[in-house]
């Protein structure tokens, strides 16, 4: 039963729980990026400033936490589209979004073994990704096409897959490969010369 007392104890607990949830997801993202998805729960909880029990209360399974980290990243890259559209000209907004999308892909590389493990917890992530990120990129592309600064013959899904392929890891014997540089080349080709 919710606390309806003037002190607002129930609301305070919900605010604390939400803050803990965000702190855990942020901490897990950082730890996964540096240590990997098999990092000890205590390392994540310590970085978040909470106890291990709080971590397990929010995320009973490791796959729950990995999924939350990935969904938060997807939401962030999707939300970036409208933000950049409001702040920049269409060509710059599109180029910057592509650069940040590439960074997003590179930082998720360490999660690949977990995401491709066959765990049913991750089954919905590809659909979630396309549902969120596809429209964000499509809006940026449409704005750039309408402004006459981008090609009309390339769709959002084509661009998403092309950038994903550019950001794939390469064999050790080619250490000079720089995905960000190739994404910039791709973005330049996507934009028209009249800009």
Split at pLDDT 50, 70, 90, the class of 182 is: confident
Rounded Cα distance between 3 and 6, Å, is 9
Domains contained in the chain, CATH given: 1-60 (1.10.10.60), 61-195 (1.10.357.10)
Per residue in 135-160, pLDDT tens? 999 999 999 999 999 999 999 999 99
Task: Please report the pLDDT score of residue 158 as a whole number.
Answer: 94
Task: Please report the pLDDT score of residue 12 as a whole number.
Answer: 66
Residue 88, helix vs strand vs coil: coil
Q: What is the number of helices (H) and of strands (E) in the chain?
A: 9, 0
């Amino acid at each position: 039963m919710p606390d309806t007392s003037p002190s607002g104890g129930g609301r305070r607990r919900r605010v604390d729980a939400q803050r803990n949830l965000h702190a855990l997801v942020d901490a897990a993202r950082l730890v996964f990026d540096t240590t990997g998805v098999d990092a000890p729960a205590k390392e994540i909880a310590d970085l978040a400033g909470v106890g291990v029990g709080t971590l397990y209360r929010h995320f009973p399974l490791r796959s729950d936490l990995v999924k939350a980290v990935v969904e938060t990243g997807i939401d962030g890259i999707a939300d970036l589209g409208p933000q950049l559209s409001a702040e920049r000209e269409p060509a710059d907004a599109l180029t910057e979004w592509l650069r940040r999308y590439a960074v997003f892909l590179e930082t998720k590389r360490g999660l690949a073994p977990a995401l491709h493990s066959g765990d049913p917890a991750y089954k919905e992530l590809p659909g979630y990704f396309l549902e969120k990120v596809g429209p964000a990129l499509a809006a940026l592309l449409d704005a750039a096409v309408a402004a006459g600064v981008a090609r009309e013959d390339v769709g959002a899904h084509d661009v998403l897959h092309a950038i994903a392929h550019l950001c794939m890891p390469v064999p050790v014997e080619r250490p000079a490969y720089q995905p960000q540089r190739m994404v910039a080349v791709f973005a330049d080709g996507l934009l028209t010369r009249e800009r």
